[in-house]
Amino acid sequence: MGKELAGKRVLVMGLGRFGGGVDAARYAAQAGAKVIVTDKASENQLRDSISQLSDLSAIEYHLGRHDPEDFATADVVIANPAIPPDNEFLQIARYHDRTVASQMGLFFQSCPARIIGITGANGKSTTTTLTAHILENARPNASKRAYGKVWLSGNIGDRPLLTILDQVRPDDLVVLEISSFQIDQLAQIGMAPKVSLLTNLTPNHLDRYGTFKAYCASKESLFSLQTLDTGDPAVSIFNAEDPIARSWFARYGSQRGRVCTQFSADDIGSETRARYALPGRANLSNLAAAMAIARCFGVSDPSVEDCLSSFKALPHRLELVAEGKGVRWYNDSKATTPEGTMVALSAFDGPKILIAGGYDKHTPFGELGEKIASGAKAAILIGQTVRMIADAIGGAPGGQSVDIRFAGSLAEAVELAGQLAVAGDVVLLSPACASYDMFENYQQRGRQFGELARRVSR
C-alpha cells in the first residue's frame, strides 16, 4: 500500500499532541516518501507524538510554525481533519498545483474491503463500536454471503486507519466513525462509504461551519456521494426519530441503486432490552442503528441478543466511574454538545447533580437550560460557558429551584458535588462543551473526573 507516495515529497500538516498525524506520517514514510511534518506546536508540546515515530529516521520536523515554502514545494500535503479546507497554507499548496490529501481520503482510495460509515452529532462512537462488536460476534445466516475480519477505526480514538491497510482483505468489513471534518475531506475526492448511517443531527461545530445548515450539508455528503449501482446498491440508514434524517430518507429513498432504511429506539423489543446494559433511550437508539446495519449483512436479531451481554459502555460515555455512600458518579465527558448532555440527563431517574461547561463552540444553551431546570437538583458550572449556561437555566421555567454553583476547576466542582450529594443521587459530568479551555481533550477531562470522583466517594 502507499505506492502512490513512493519517492514523493510528502508534507504532513498537523502532527497533533495526541498523534492525529502520526498515522499519516508513518504510512508515507513506510511507502518510501520523503516526509516532512509541520505543526505550529513546539517540539516539547509534541514530544509524545514524535516518540511514536522514533523508529523512522527519514522524517524531518518543521515545528513551531508553518513555512509557506514547504507547501509550495511538496508533491503531496496530507492535512489533519481539524484543518479547515480554506486554510491559507492549503491554499498555497493548491495555487502551486500540489495534491492536497487526507488520511481518510487515502484510506478510501486504497481500502479493498467494504466500508461502513457512521456519522451524526451524538451517539456515533457507541454506535460504531457496537456495530463492530455485533458483526464480529454475531455471524450472518448461512443464506447470506459471509464476511471475513471486522475492523473498527476512524474518528474513534487510538485505532489508526492507514496502518491497518496492509492487513485488510477484500472480504473483510471496515466499520468507521466519520466526523463532519473527515466527511469534508472525502467530499474533496467525491467518495463515500457503500453503507452509510446517520445517528442524529443537532447543532455542533458552529465555530467552524457558521450555521447549522452548513453543518448538515457537510454530513449529507456521506449519502449524496454514495455510488449508486443497481447490482450492488448503496445502503443509506436514517434515524426515524430525527426530523432531518426523516427528510433525507424521503429524499433518497426513491433513487435507483440505493436501499434506504430507518431505525428507532422503539424497534428494540423487551427481550433485547433485558440483555443490554447501557442506560437511557439514546443508547437504545444506538442499538437499533447497529442492528439495522447488522441486518444488512445477514445477522439475525436473536444472534445479536446473544452477544449483547459482552458489550460494555465506552470510556467517557455514561461510564460509571465511582459509587459510594449511596451516590453514583458517571463520566460522560464525550458529551460536547448541549444535546448530548440532554440525552445524558434523560438516562437517569431520580435526583441529579450535573457538572457542565467548557470551551465555547457557539452553540445555543436554551433547550439545555430547560432540561436542567426540569431534571437536575443542582448544576455546578466550569469553564468559558458558565455564565451562558447559568443564564439559560435561570431563564427557564423552574430554573430558580436549581442550585447553581460556579467552580474554578474540575477538582473544585467535584468537591462541591460531594458536599451536595446524598444517598440516591447521581453526579453526572456531562459538559455540553468541548474541553479545550481547561484540558487537552475530553479524555483527559474524563480521566481526571474519574480520579476525583473515586477519591470523594470513599
- Per residue in 200-252, pLDDT (tens digit) is 999 888 889 999 999 999 999 999 999 999 899 999 999 999 999 999 999 99
Confidence (pLDDT) at 240? 98
Percent of the chain with pLDDT over 90: 85
For domain 319-456, the CATH architecture is Alpha-Beta Complex (3.90)
Torsion over CA of 72, 76, 81 and 85, rounded to 10 degrees?
50
Q: pLDDT tens, 315-364?
A: 999 999 999 999 999 999 999 999 999 999 999 999 999 999 999 888 89
Question: Is the CA virtual torsion 430, 433, 436, 440 positive or negative?
Answer: positive
Confidence (pLDDT) at 425? 97
3-state SS record for 313-369: CCCCCCEEEEEECCEEEEECCCCCCHHHHHHHHHCCCCCEEEEECCECCCCCCHHHH
CATH topology of domain 111-308: UDP-N-acetylmuramoyl-L-alanine:D-glutamate ligase (3.40.1190)
Confidence (pLDDT) at 280? 87
The count of other CB atoms within 10 Å of the CB of residue 224 is 14
Mean pLDDT of 140-169: 82
Q: pLDDT tens, 53-71?
A: 999 988 999 999 999 999 9
Residue-range domain boundaries for the chain: 7-103, 111-308, 319-456
2 pLDDT more than 80: no
Total-model pTM:
0.85
Question: Quick one: pLDDT band at residue 143, thresholds 50, 70, 90?
Answer: low
Residue-averaged pLDDT of the chain:
94
Q: pLDDT tens, 79-90?
A: 999 899 899 999
Q: Please tell us whether the domain made up of 7-103 is placed in CATH 3.40.50.720.
A: yes
Q: pLDDT tens, 30-52?
A: 999 999 999 999 999 999 899 99
104 pLDDT more than 70: yes
3 pLDDT more than 90: no
- For the chain, give me the number of helices (H) and strands (E)? 18, 17
Question: Quick one: pLDDT band at residue 142, thresholds 50, 70, 90?
Answer: low
Buried b / exposed e over 400-410, threshold 16 CB at 10 Å, is eebebbebeeb
Confidence (pLDDT) at 155? 87
1 pLDDT more than 70: no
260 pLDDT more than 70: yes
